[in-house]
Amino acid sequence: MDADNPNRKNRDTPQWALYQRENFWKINNGEKPLFNTEPGKLEDLAKQKLTEGGWLYASSNAGSSYTHLANRQAFYRHKIIPRQLVDTNVRTTSTTIFGHKVSAPIGFAPIGINKIYHPLGELPVAKVAKELNLPYCLSTAGSTAIEDVAAANGAGPRFYQLYMPHDDELTISLLTRAFKSGFDVCILTTDTWQLGWRHDDVAEGNYAFYRGIGADLGLTDPVFQKRLEAAGIDPKKDPERAGAKWIDNVWHGRAHDWNKMPWLIKTWKEISGGKPFCLKGIQSVADAKKAVELGVDGIVVSNHAGRQVDGAIASLDALENIVAAVGDKTYIMFDSGIRGGSDVCKALALGAKFVWVGRLWVWGLSIMGEAGVRHVMKSLLADFDILMTVGGFQNVEQMMDRDILESYPKGYAMIAEKSRL
């Protein structure tokens, strides 16, 4: 591709497609591209790099992984119909989410305990998100203090994903810290009061928090520090008990219900001065309608990448149902199963305004830290940008059209297939 393309100066986002040329040219400089970003090969390489515990936690799914499989199968039945001879020279990948103009409709999904993937945990991920001007979402199960993640993210757009304790003072403290640190959207995850049954993790006793690893976000909270003191736990002397007490406040096995939502929404709005509040984990039309009735600002259609309920509906199929019911009433985001630029396009065509990506950047972090995250996400952006030019899309809005897809019946194989992808 022409590195001196005169149209570059007219674009409002970098010409991400040039990352392809950059990698092609490396051989001339005696270099090689960092690693293969094909999802299956990416996963294989991450497995080689990670500890057994890190690999098992990152790769595990609920039960027999059938929801994870369904997530990918759902993408296969939708086919993009490219258009030709479209002037895509001055295309844009940009979009707006909750007042933030960002480089693409792609965000860094909230994933916990990043320190089991890399010693620096969430910091390199937040840094790369800022560089690329993509939203970064921090998990309550994160392994780095909220304030430190914010510093790494700089002026980048950032959201806070809440796992809600049954301790209102602690919830308020977490939300206050997040907002003061520049996280200006709250996303409550509704599907993980407790981890799903993940065979490999259970068989190996693989739970980092109970080993005293990854509880830094909680251990730096002033309210939780009071709870530790009251329980007679010194986190320096007894990190296992401290980590357990923290995560047992987060993944506590005690469900919240709709009756608690008005309090939480009101509390966040008071703390943040009215900033957006969203629900993540919505799969049913009834729940989506209830969320709209409550006045949430957005929902993330997600099944936690198949990690919570085995044998569940594919998240992409849930997206279609939910968009048909409430697509014009709230801001709909998608999560669970994105592996490439074409997947982003399909989710947008089916009614999502934005998508979240998780496992791809986790593999990159595991393989090569900051450089690995950057390589994976720049590759995804290049894939998306190239799809726009060869598929005939001038902007993201043109992808938000059901007519760009040819879709086939839900004829998913009933046999016990497995899928890494």
Amino acid 134 reads L
Cβ neighbors of 124 (< 8 A, separation 6 or more) are: 118, 152, 365, 369, 370, 373
Annotation says 100 is catalytic = no
Q: How many CB atoms lie within 10 A of CB 303?
A: 26
Cβ 332 vs Cβ 352: under 8 Å: yes
AA letter at 135 = P
Q: What is the spatial distance between Cα 255 and Cα 260, in angstroms, rounded to a whole number?
A: 10
Please pick, among 68, 78, 304, 375, the residue that the annotation labels catalytic. 304
Distance, in Å, from the CA atom of 37 to the CA atom of 35, rounded to the nearest integer, reads 6
* DSSP label at residue 136: E
| Cα separation values, 403 from 80, 198, 399, Å | 9, 39, 9
Nearest-angstrom CA–CA distance, 137 and 195: 20
Distance of alpha carbon 230 from alpha carbon 212, whole angstroms: 19
Q: What is the DSSP letter of 354?
A: E
- Cα separation, 118 vs 167, in Å, equals 31
Q: List the catalytic residues.
A: 304
